[in-house]
């Protein structure tokens, strides 16, 4: 457990040094807002769609039933020029594509979105099922994000946001401080762009490295399901948050070079600078 926390903080802290919230805010403000396809109109799709529209993005919901009253009501609630279309139409009209779809429906959906070359594809899915013992287990040996990348080799797949529940997307302030969002991708530019969006949402992005780390992110998200599937009554909503105190405890460690400094994405930093160590 301690090793996990050290690794977590190691990655997180390397980003503190190279990220400035004012710089990222300026660069985000200067960029034109892209069109975002939200493929799936369920719990996460409607939370992300509404929040992203509030931030000025044009949202196109991609749905199996874009003409139903339910989806029309969601489009009206979203505003800012939002619309709905079939999943493939939405994906083709968008610059950035979010995939809030359940596994295993993901495979058919993600294989049939048309040519996604050059588009950023954000996979938030958690491919879990309930094992015979009642506990959750992954449905994949690899990760959903790696499979989506394999099915769409020209896309720039980013794994992230599946570690936060929809209520945190709706209102990050409900948990009294920024929630840390691990991101993984083999495309640094895409990871940095998604990190800016995560930051705009009021969340705290952290670079978790290449896309192969997606399976670890999915595993982290799967632990959310344990109390739920077990029908335990205790408070169970939890999340990741950086802890600046670790920096002071491991000062010598931080002074050594970062392993993948050339590959590390520069990420928007939503947290205040850490307090200097005594
Ligand atoms: N809910 C959360 O708090 C949360 C948190 C973290 C991660 N996640 C992950 O996010 C993903 C979505 O979760 P959710 O809670 O939003 O699920 P959900 O409420 O069940 O919504 C999933 C949506 O996917 C679309 N869909 C379902 N079956 C499909 C199929 N066969 N083909 C194509 N599209 C299909 C549907 O949209 P249309 O009816 O419009 O087609 C549906 O509304 C899951 O992988 C989940 O693990 C959820």
Question: Which whole number is the average pLDDT over 187-212?
Answer: 95
Alpha-carbon distance 138 to 128, whole Å? 4
Residue in the block written with tokens 């570690």: 163
pLDDT for the residue 253 = 75
Please give the pLDDT value at position 21: 41
| Closest atom, ligand 1, to C-alpha of 44 | 16
Question: Domain range holding 162?
Answer: 2-31+101-254
Work out the mean pLDDT of the chain and round it to a whole number: 86
Task: Write down the pLDDT at residue 66.
Answer: 98
Give me ligand 1 centre to Cα 69, in Å.
Answer: 18
Query: Is 57's pLDDT higher than 80?
Result: yes
**Which residue bears the tokens 């392993």?**
259
Q: Work out the pLDDT band at 270, boundaries 50, 70, 90.
A: low
CA distance 168 to 203: 9
Q: Which of 37, 39, 42 to mutate to test the pocket of ligand 1 (most atoms within 8 A of CB)?
A: 42
* Ligand 1 pocket check for 167: Cβ under 6 Å: no
4-25 pLDDT, tens per residue? Answer: 333 333 333 333 333 434 444 4
Assess if residue 59 is contained within a domain.
no
Q: What is the pLDDT of residues 65-102, one digit of tens each?
A: 999 999 999 999 999 999 999 999 999 999 999 999 99
Q: Which residue has the tokens 């939890």?
A: 238
Q: Are 123 and 145 in contact (CB under 8 A)?
A: yes
| Region at 80 (left for phi over 0; alpha for psi -120 to 50; beta for the rest) | left
More confident of the two residues 276 and 164: 164
Residue 231 lies in a domain: yes
Question: Measured from the CA of 144, which atom of ligand 1 is nearest?
Answer: 45
In a domain? residue 74: no
- Residue 217 inside a domain? The answer is yes
Taking the CA of residue 103 as reference, the ligand 1 atom at the shortest distance is 45
Nearest to 162 by CA among 110, 105, 103: 103
Torsion over CA: 117, 56, 63, 202 (sign): positive
Percent of the chain's residues with pLDDT above 90: 66
Quote the number of domains for the chain. Answer: 1
Q: How many angstroms is it from 41 CA to the middle of ligand 1? A: 7
* CATH number assigned to the domain comprising residue 187: 3.40.50.720
- Is pLDDT above 60 for 147? yes
Q: Which atom of ligand 1 is nearest to the CA of 109?
A: 33
Ligand 1 and 70: CB distance under 6 A: no
CB 160 near ligand 1, within 6 Å: no
148: Cβ–Cβ under 8 A, 6 or more apart, which residues? 99, 106, 110, 121, 123, 155, 157
Give a yes or no: residue 81 inside a domain: no
Residue 107, pLDDT above cutoff 70: yes
Minimum CA distance residue for ligand 1 atom 30: 105
* Residue to probe by mutation, ligand 1, list 37, 38, 39, 44, most atoms within 8 Å of CB: 44
Rounded to whole angstroms, the Cα distance separating 217 from 143 reads 9
Nearest CA to ligand 1 atom 29: 105
List pLDDT tens digits, range 27-55. Answer: 555 567 999 999 999 999 999 999 999 99
- How far is CA 260 from each of CA 10, 189, 214, 268, rounded to the nearest angstrom? 12, 15, 17, 18
Secondary structure element (H or E) that encloses residue 181, with its range: strand 180-185
The two three-digit tokens of residue 224, written as one number:
């959310």
- Cβ(41) to ligand 1 under 6 A? yes
In a domain, 139, yes or no: yes
- Which of 273 and 194 is assigned the larger pLDDT? 194
Residue 222, classed as helix, strand or coil, is helix
Residue nearest atom 25 of ligand 1, based on CA coordinates = 40
d(CA 246, CA 2): 11
Check residue 229 and give its pLDDT: 87
């Amino acid at each position: 457990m301690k090793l996990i926390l050290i690794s977590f903080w190691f990655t997180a802290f390397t980003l503190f040094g190279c990220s400035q919230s004012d710089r990222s805010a300026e660069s985000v403000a200067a960029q034109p807002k892209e069109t975002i396809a939200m493929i799936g109109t369920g719990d996460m799709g409607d939370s992300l769609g509404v929040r992203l529209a509030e931030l000025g993005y044009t949202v196109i919901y991609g749905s199996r039933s874009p003409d139903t009253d339910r989806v029309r009501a969601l489009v009206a609630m979203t505003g800012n020029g939002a619309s709905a279309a079939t999943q493939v139409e939405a994906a083709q009209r968008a610059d950035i594509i979010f995939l809030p779809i359940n596994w295993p429906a993901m495979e058919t959906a993600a294989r049939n979105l048309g040519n996604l070359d050059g588009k950023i594809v954000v996979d938030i899915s958690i491919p879990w099922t309930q094992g015979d013992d009642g506990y959750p287990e992954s449905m994949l040996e690899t990760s959903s994000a790696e499979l989506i990348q394999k099915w769409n080799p020209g896309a720039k797949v980013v794994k992230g946001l599946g570690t936060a529940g929809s209520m945190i997307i709706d209102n990050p302030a409900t948990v009294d401080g920024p929630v840390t969002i691990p991101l993984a991708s083999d495309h640094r530019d895409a990871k940095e762009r998604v990190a800016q969006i995560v930051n705009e949402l009021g969340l705290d992005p952290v670079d978790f490295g290449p896309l192969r780390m997606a399976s670890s992110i999915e595993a982290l998200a799967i632990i959310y399901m344990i109390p739920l599937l077990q029908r335990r009554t205790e408070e169970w909503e939890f999340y990741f948050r950086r802890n600046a105190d670790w920096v002071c405890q491991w000062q010598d460690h931080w002074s050594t070079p970062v392993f993948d400094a050339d590959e590390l994405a520069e990420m928007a930093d939503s947290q205040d600078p850490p307090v200097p160590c005594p």
